[in-house]
Copies of this chain bind each other. A is one copy, B any other.
Amino acid sequence: MDKSSFHFSTELRVRLSETDAMGIVFHGNYFIYFDVGRIDYLRNLGIMKDGKSFGGFDNVIVSVKADFKAPSYFNDVLVVYTRIAEIGNSSFKFEFLVNNKKLNKLVSVGESVHVALDTKKWKPMPVPEHFRKLIRSFEGNALIEKRPK
């Protein structure tokens, strides 16, 4: 994962409340930074409604992960790179890369997997076509798609 392969980024500054007694950002708070990136990405596409429902359908996060390459400190400016890397039948995957702006140094990479949900039946549903189209148009050829047959 290289930051040059992302087409969207969001800047934020590490808050005192996000650090811990070891003097660095508490590792769990990177998922807050990823979330800030994800929401900003969706807002940029004009499809943010709330955190759960965007693009006109509901979804849930089913898994997340993160690798930590270097610590961040209070007052560091971080750049969160965000993309949708894969769209499957009923799921799609966000990928994140966090870079220290001043040092131009990789801090963390991560991902979150979402499942499109028919909340009336509480069952997975196919990712809607208009959402696929929008992401395909934004991400271009790098997007990996597995279409329902």
Q: Which A residues are within 8 Å of any B CB, using their own CB?
A: 15-17, 19-24, 26-29, 31-32, 34-36, 39, 43, 48, 50-52, 60-68, 71, 73-75, 112
Contacts and interface: CB of A to CB of B under 8 A. Distances in A.
Given A63-B65, A65-B65, A66-B65, A20 B16 contact: yes
Contacts of A74: 20-21, 50-51
Contact of A23 (B21, B29, B48, B62): B21
Contact of A20 (B21, B64, B75, B112): B21
14 contacts: A15-B39, A16-B26, A16-B51, A17-B20, A17-B35, A20-B21, A21-B50, A21-B73, A21-B74, A23-B23, A27-B112, A51-B74, A63-B65, A64-B66
A27 B112 CA distance: 10
A68 B75 contact: no
A137 to B, nearest CB: 24
A35 B61 contact: no
B35 A28 contact: yes
